[in-house]
Amino acid sequence: MNKNVILYSTPFCHFCHLAKQYFSEKGIAFVEVDVAEDDVRRQEMMHKSGQLGVPVIEIGEQVIIGFNRPRIEELLSV
């Protein structure tokens, strides 16, 4: 498993914190993008997900809206 994982988040998002904790506990490398501070990346996230809410998690070419743990595990195990 060597998929790029991007976590679009904000500092005040509870589910974003849960996702970060999950990835850290599982030893999954990820890139965190703070969309509260980065307008360009926020627009990128909105284009990919069709929404402004966070977290948005990108695993490879797949986009997950929210902290959908079963879907995350499914994508990471493939």
pLDDT in tens, 16-55: 999 999 999 999 999 999 999 999 999 999 999 999 999 9
- Residue 57 belongs to some domain of the structure: yes
- Between residues 28 and 78, which one has the greater pLDDT? 28
**What is the number of structural domains in the chain?**
1
Identify any residues that bridge with 33 across adjacent strands, giving them in sequence order. 8
Give pLDDT, residue 78: 52
- Residue 45 belongs to some domain of the structure: yes
The answer, yes or no, to whether residue 5 has pLDDT greater than 60, is: yes
> What pTM was computed for the model?
0.93
What is the sign of the dihedral through the CA atoms of 12, 30, 7 and 34? positive
- Residue 44 belongs to some domain of the structure: yes
8 CA to centre of own chain = 5
- Residue 20 belongs to some domain of the structure: no
Q: Which is it for strands 5-9 and 31-34: parallel, antiparallel or unpaired?
A: parallel
- Residue 21 belongs to some domain of the structure: no
- Residue 54 belongs to some domain of the structure: yes
Give pLDDT, residue 61: 92
Domain with 46, as residue range(s), is 34-63
Q: Which among 54, 64, 57, 69 is positioned nearest to 13, based on CA atoms?
A: 54
- Residue 78 belongs to some domain of the structure: no
End-to-end CA distance of the chain: 7
